[in-house]
Structure 1
Amino acid sequence: MTDELLWVSAAQVDDRVTLLTARGELDRDSLHILDAAADAALTAGATRLVLDLGTLTFCDSSGLRLFVELHKRTDLRLADVRAPVDTVIKVVNLHRILALHPTVEDAIG
């Protein structure tokens, strides 16, 4: 998989919340794109990251690892998580520690 398979856009919701929308496939080859966007948001002062995963179609273990790392660093909220990503998160029991929200609006709240 290549970088072209993952696009991430960032929107600052307010002084403390940044919304990152990921579209495509998150794997070891594209992970750095989401990681860099998250780092930029945190460096700019965000204390909450909302990841809109509604258009993320694939996530491997490196993506799951990034979710856990971000969860440890900040108030991470995953929004609009759909299959197959939702399935992978639940199979490895990460839904027990990660904040999953049905909508972006709910996660921002």
Structure 2
Amino acid sequence: MTFETDDRARVTLVPHPLGLRITGEIDRGNRHVLARALDWALLTGGTDVRLDLSGLTFVDVAGMRLMVVAAARLSPHRVLILDPVSPVVRRLLMMTGWENAPGLWVAH
């Protein structure tokens, strides 16, 4: 299943381990696609959710906030795993302090 926007971003379901591969750029114009995909992933199954962000070349603060809020929405025995993480995402997480957000696990 692919949640696709314009030519700037693609969000694709990864069935095992359950998660999403997010590539391209996430910003105000296509953030709704990420929101819809995260909602779907959180409702599917009772396992952790993995986001492959290795191909994410840009994400605005509101897009990153969507991921942080999604992590906080998970039940206590589940986490949102960011692995692998692009340098752009890692820098934004460090700048905002969100690398230690509840329910979020960031690969190092």
Partners in 2 of 1:67 and 1:99 — Cα distance? 11
Residues 1:31 and 1:46: Cα distance change in structure 2 (over 3 Å): farther
Query: Contact between 2:42 and 2:70, CA under 8 Å: does it hold in 1?
Result: no
Q: Normalising to structure 1: TM-score of the pair?
A: 0.78
- Quote the offset at 1:44 in angstroms: 3.0
Query: Contact between 1:3 and 1:29, CA under 8 Å: does it hold in 2?
Result: no
Partner in structure 1 of residue 80 of structure 2: 76
CA RMSD of aligned residues (A): 1.8
Partner in structure 1 of residue 10 of structure 2: 7
Instruction: Point out where structure 1 has 5 or more consecutive residues left out of the alignment.
Output: 103-109
Query: Contact between 2:38 and 2:67, CA under 8 Å: does it hold in 1?
Result: no
Query: Contact between 2:25 and 2:57, CA under 8 Å: does it hold in 1?
Result: yes
Residues 1:24 and 1:61: Cα distance change in structure 2 (over 3 Å): same
Superposed structure 1 runs of 4+ greater than 3 Å apart: none
User: Partner letter of residue 3 of structure 1?
Assistant: D
Partner in structure 1 of residue 96 of structure 2: 92
User: Partner letter of residue 45 of structure 1?
Assistant: G
More divergent stretch after superposition (72-81 vs 39-48): 39-48
Instruction: Point out where structure 2 has 5 or more consecutive residues left out of the alignment.
Output: none
**Which secondary structure state, in structure 2, belongs to the residue aligned with residue 80 of structure 1?**
strand
Aligned residues: 98
Percent identity between matched residues is 34
- Quote the offset at 1:46 in angstroms: 4.4
Q: Normalising to structure 2: TM-score of the pair?
A: 0.79
Partners in 2 of 1:23 and 1:47 — Cα distance? 23
